[in-house]
Structures are given as structure tokens and as C-alpha cells.
Amino acid sequence: MGYKTLCFGFSCVLFAYSVYSPVPENIEEPWKVIFMDAVIKMTSLVATLFENIGLMKYEEVFFTVAALQFTEPVSDENVTVVDTNFSDIPVRLYLPKRKSERQRPAIVFIHGGAFVLGSCKMSAYDDLNRLTANKLGAVIVGIDYRLAPQYQFPAALEDCVFVTKFFLQDKVLAKYGVDPARICITGDSSGGTLVAAVIQLLQNDPEFKDRIKAQALIYPGLQVLDTSLPSHREYEHGPIVSREMIIKLASLYVTEDKTLLQALLRNEHMPPGSRDLFKFVNWSDFLPEKYKKNYVYREPVLGKLNDAYPALVDNRMSPLIANDSQLQVLPLTYVVTCEHDLIRDDSLIYITRLRNVGVQVTHDHLEEGIHGALSFTGAPVFLHLGLRIRDKYISWLEENL
């Protein structure tokens, strides 16, 4: 039997093995979700294998798969698309061609990918931003911030803050015909983490306060303090993202040292003296009753880790641990959550905390939703769910920006 046949046979067995992951009952288009879930789980298995035999690092396999979806900047009849740099940070701009009487609204877009993979150039984001630019007549700035593990915390955030501030300069806004009073900042997943952190920094900086009208967070990750929220337990094995996979990838934003990874998996990673921060993420206080189900609050064990990682107690990493006076200055907020999402509860807690201090929040919750759905709006797999999230987000922008 040839080597290729052997590999093929091996892949088939792995595939069949992963394909049998059950998905929650009320999920629509279940076969497509099972297929995507299987592809991702298989990628994770292959990545583990490659890492163990020293061929490629775990995250590099994911990065390579994601990179297959990168697009060139292609303009169409409605929108001019250009890749350029703001100072030395790569951005992709979407500039509507249609003449406009008024100045245009604008959106700063921050992509997801657990801080280690992806780009605003991925086809699903390209479609989303192109459509948004066309429908709203908006200028869009997609940021290709630096990725971990090569560039660790807070590099990604620094790039996003830099690009946002660069864009907010009067002369830059004027160059693109942007109305300074109609700017939103949007991100999904880890892009949502970055959005929440950027806006907290800007709102608490007198020079930039109230320069951004709104933030849109699409199933964002918002904290790393407690990795055992009810949604972490319920969706530990997915669909789409599993607890182990997301922790393996996202922990690289802090360090490549595996002891942190192991501690995060055990929920024993927080340093001594950090107990006070847990009041901001305590799900037994902030989660709506419906989502507590029969889960019992377990207090995380502190001080087990010898190394100190300042990122773990930093609200630029966990925007959820900002205190109430930092939250109450935040602008109009839009949040999309999905029921079947490992990191769902981060958002639900944040929404409660924002509303408690009077921030205006629009919340769209998709009962049949899964994490990452917005990335499945084109080949190879498109989900109606993804299109629905896209439409909800765009109509919210049309009404609010």
C-alpha cells in the first residue's frame, strides 16, 4: 500500500471519528454544522500530530488553513478596495464609489482568530465589509494587526489603538469624506475582545473620549479570569470551537509556556491576590437565571502558578474586569450572542454590567446560533445563520450610525 493511500485511509478514519460529534438539537442546517465541526476538529488533530512530530506548530496549521481564505483587494462596481498601511500597520480600505451629498459614516473592523490567525482579508470578512460599505455608503478600515505567538500581548491591541487613532485624525477623516460623528468600531470573537479594549482605552482618554459613536461586539471573548463559566462547561466540546482548542490558541497571546496552558485548562491560572477581580466576572451574580441552569459556582483556585503573567489581571486582555466607572462612559453598544457558544457567557455578563451602569445596549441573541457563524457566509460552507447575523448587524448600523 502506497504512502498516499495510507494517509488517505488514515484521514478517512479520523474524519469519520470526528464526524460523529453530536450537535445541539435546535441547530439549523445540522449537516453543514457537523461537517464544519468535523473539519475543525480534524484540523486540531492534525495540528497536534504535526506538533508532536515536530513538523509544524499547532497554531501554524490553523493559520495555514485560514490563510487559504485570504483574498486580494478587488474593487467592484460599487466599492473601491485597497490594501495600504496606516503608518506601518497594514489595513484594507473599502471606499464606496457612489457619490454622496453627506459625509460618510465609517467602521473600524477588527477580525477574529484567537489572536493567532486570520486577517480582515479572509473572504467572509471581505464580503461582510464590502456589503456594509455598499449598503451604508460607509468607509471601512480593516486592520491586519500583528498576531501571536510571534507578537504577544499587548501588540495586537497596540496596533488596533494606533490605527484607530490614526484614522481619527481630522486630515485623515477629511481625506476619505468621513463624518467624525458617525464612526463605529466592530469586531467578532477575539476581534470583539480588541474592540472592547480599544473603546475602553479611548473613552478613558480625555483626548479621544466620545470620538467613537458606537461599538459592535459579535460573540466576543471578554475575560480570561474564569474558564469554567456555565457556557464553558456546556459547550466544552464545541460545536465549532472546543474549550481546549480555544485555550491552546488564545493562551499564545500571553505566552508559549505550556504551564500557563495547563493551568488555564484547570482554571487554576490566576495569581494570588487577584480574588478581588472576580467580583467583575462572577457569573452567579451577573448571568441571567435562564443560563445558570443547574451549574454550581466554583471559586477558582488562585496562586497555583509560579510564573506571574501581568496580562491575566489586565483589562486590556479582559475588558470585563474594568470597574463600573470605566464602563459607564462607554458609548452605544451592540452585542450579538449565540446560544451554543463556549464564550457566550462573557457577553451575557458584560451586557448585565453595562446596563447596570446605564450604557445603552442592543442585544441580539440567536437561539440556534453557534460561535463563528459570521465566518460561514460563502464557499466552502455557507450557513443561513451567518447571513442572518450579517443582516442583523447591518440593519443595526443603518438605524444607529
Task: State the residues that interact with ligand NAG by CB under 6 A.
Answer: 76-78, 84-85, 88, 90, 134, 275, 278-279, 282, 284-285, 297, 299, 323, 325-326
**Beta strand 178-188 pairing with 104-110:** parallel
Taking the least distance from each CB to ligand NAG, the nearer of 94 and 309 is 94
* Closer CB to ligand NAG, 258 or 298, in the complex: 298
For ligand NAG, the closer CB: 305 or 327 = 327
Q: Which of 111, 232, 340, 371 is catalytic?
A: 371
What are residue 173's phi and psi, to 5 degrees? Answer: -60, -40
Catalytic, 189? Answer yes
- Cis-peptide, bond into residue 149, ω within 30° of zero: yes
Which candidate in 18, 189, 251, 347 is catalytic?
189
**Shortest distance in whole angstroms from residue 33 CB to ligand NAG:** 27
User: For the sheet containing 214-218, what is the strand order?
Assistant: 79-86, 89-96, 139-143, 104-110, 178-188, 214-218, 332-340, 361-370
Residue given cell 461586539 in the structure block: 217
If the CB atoms of residues 109 and 280 are measured against ligand NAG, the closer one turns out to be: 280
Residue 87: CB minimum distance to ligand NAG, A: 9
Q: From the CB of 286, what's the least distance to ligand NAG, in Å?
A: 9
Ramachandran category for residue 213: left, alpha or beta (phi over 0 → left; psi -120 to 50 → alpha): alpha
Least Å distance, CB 315 to ligand NAG, is 8
The verdict on whether omega for the bond into residue 239 sits within 30 degrees of 0, i.e. cis, is yes
Residue 365 bears catalytic tag: no
Quick check: 125 and 389 in contact, CB under 8 A? no
In the complex with ligand NAG, the residue whose CB is nearer, 279 or 293, is 279
Cis-peptide, bond into residue 380, ω within 30° of zero = yes
Check whether the bond before 24 is cis (ω within 30° of 0).
no
Give the span between the Cα atoms of 82 and 391, in whole angstroms.
Answer: 24
- Catalytic residue check, 341: yes
Nearer to ligand NAG, 85 or 259 (CB): 85
186 vs 195: CA distance, rounded Å: 6
Catalytic residue among 144, 188, 341, 345: 341
d(CA 360, CA 357): 9
Catalytic residues: 189, 341, 371
